[in-house]
Amino acid sequence: MTTKPLLQNPRSAAEAVVQVLKEAGIDTVFGIAGGHSGHIWAALEKYQDSIRTVLVREESLGSAMAEVYGRLTGKPGVLIGQGPWVLGNGLLGTIEAQLSSSPMLLLTDFSDTPELSLHGPYQSGRGDYGGWDARLGFKGVTKQVFEAHHPAAAVHATQLAIKHATAGQPGPVAVLFSISAFTGQVGPDDAPRLYSTSAYLNRKSSHVDPLAVSEAAAALAGAARPVIIAGNGVRIGQAYSALHGLAQSLNIPVVTSPSGKGVFSEAHGLSLGLYGTFGHPAANACVSEADLILAVGTKLTASDTAYENPALIDPRRQTLIQIDVEARNASWSFPADHVIIGEAAVALDALGKAASGVDGKGLDRAKVYRSAHSSLETELPGDSEVPMSPPRLIAEMQHVLPPGTIICCDAGENRIFMMRYYTTREAGGFLQAAGAGPMGYAIPAAMGAKLVHPERPVVAVCGDGGFSMSMNGLMTALEANIPIITVIFNNQMLGWSTHIRGPFAAQFHDFDHAAIARALGCQGVKVNTPQELAAALRDALIAEVPTVIDARISTELSYKSLIASFDQAPPTAEKRWEQGAAD
């Protein structure tokens, strides 16, 4: 089929850029107008029937929403705004996308005045004397940076950015527009020639090396105690059903990394939940005693693997099969005996067929591990204890929220408690910023998730510290009709910091966050007991506006009590955990 030109008639570069977004199937963009990006915002007005424009109060909110949009859809989440502030304020979502491999597009600018670029600058990011270097700045936190200095290049750079954001291991890509890129029009005869955006969209390969698959299948067939470690790559690769199919057909138990939590139903008989530094004892025991580990879409980071503790994972005594879309990620943390490079869903399907007949006895083994280690979990206090302990609060959330709920976690102790005690009952039901771990992530992440899945309840879980960082996101939630639920684990402190070094510079006043929410126009309620929490959650599930539930919790339980212990723990591990490196 002959490639079609992008344009039939001349039009503004900004309109052509927005046309590219539409052709790429991007139906939502985020940000705040500023600098030369105002040209793109003006063009978006003409595309309201196909692209939803979400105006945020500050770039960090838009960046987190865009990162989650990309993580959940596989299409680049788009943040549009002015260069200095997309880089500075927008770093929250950008660096998370970089570290968690989420496809993301930053459409921003140099904030330049080319004809006076050598004079004393104002905002200019061209890298001239006295200014700042936008290309260098964005290069440090993105997968790729493109510049556009004339109209045709503005359009072509946007197409290339979409391609680079989604090809191979996804990530954030920046396009920096000069004001000259929006001067005049672009037409069918301009250079570079502009063609349909379909040519630049990622074509996911259906191929994996059959020899690599065959050898991995043979290793599985010879294993007595195999286990699957599933990471965020399963989510990025939209491989939920493929993972479920392989695990079930080969009867292999499944554990997840922190960033992978939610890619496999933790209510399934094969699931042992989270493994690693803050993992369930049963999950860690299963990994520790495995003779073969199938690692899918996980980089096996130091914090995930209890700082490469040999009592947990040791390539000298365990066979490692690694599946990843990026060849450089294989044999990165640990040497892999078998490597399958390709899309997670394709590789899992191929491996499942090649290993047909394997029985990892996962259902029986998982049941034994759960039974043997259940006593090591923290006992839930009685209903009468006030303030509620975090596990008791989470148990009530578990009881009331429907299985399809999507949980979006913030950083800090609240995230550790949720990872450990909340059971994700449906794949895709748990998101967290486990790549960069920024505070203030939960509320914008929940808004992004609700836009992608409007039919599912979405709950932002944060501490009182994280809530104060992004509570202005509730203004956007009201304006854009995004009825999320926010549950605040309110202990009047930065829990992680307090439990590391003490209360100095880590304590807060007793603010009424529910009243702040009501003043904005949201529902807001303070709760102290499980019964009050349950009632508030039920009301929130049927509310047509965002709801904030300010839940007072006790301060007695520390994240330290959830740190995994091993007989062969490296001597430096405890010191690193004490310093907070594991968050």
Residue range of the domain that includes 362: 210-376
Q: Which of 227, 282, 279, 272 is nearest to 250 (CA)?
A: 227
Looking up residue 357, the CATH number of its domain turns out to be: 3.40.50.1220
Q: Is 562 within a domain?
A: no
Q: Verify that 227 and 290 share a domain, yes or no.
A: yes
Among 200, 226, 250, give the residue marking a domain's end. Answer: 200
Report the alpha-carbon angle 297-576-504, nearest 5: 120
Q: Say if residue 439 is in the same domain as residue 296.
A: no
pLDDT of residue 383: 60
In a domain, 381, yes or no: no
Tokens 């807060």 identify what position?
508
Residues 395 and 341 in one domain: no
Q: Which residues of the chain have pLDDT under 70?
A: 1-2, 375-384, 567-583
What does the DSSP 8-state code read for residue 182?
G
Asked if 33 and 118 sit in the same domain, the reply is yes
Could you tell me if 296 and 417 lie in one domain? no
Q: How many CA within 13 A on the CB side of residue 170?
A: 35
In a domain, 567, yes or no: no
- If asked whether residues 469 and 341 sit together in one domain, one would say no
DSSP calls for 285-304: HHHHH-SEEEEES----TTT
Radius of gyration in angstroms for the set of CA atoms belonging to the chain, rounded to a whole number: 24
| pLDDT score, position 573 | 37
186 and 227 together in one domain = no
Per-residue confidence (pLDDT) for residue 571, from 0 to 100: 38
Same domain flag for 229 and 361: yes
Has residue 344 been placed in a domain? yes
Length of the chain as a residue count: 583
* pTM for the full predicted model: 0.94
Q: Which pLDDT does position 524 carry in this prediction? A: 98
Same domain assignment for residues 196 and 216: no
Please name the helix (run of DSSP H) or strand (run of DSSP E) that holds residue 173, with its range, or none: strand 172-177
pLDDT at 468: 94
Which CATH number characterizes residue 508's domain? 3.40.50.970
Q: Please indicate, yes or no, if residue 579 is contained in any of the structural domains.
A: no
436 in the same domain as 337? no
Check whether residue 144 and residue 193 sit in a common domain: yes
Together in a domain, 321 and 414: no
Tokens of 210: 């059959």
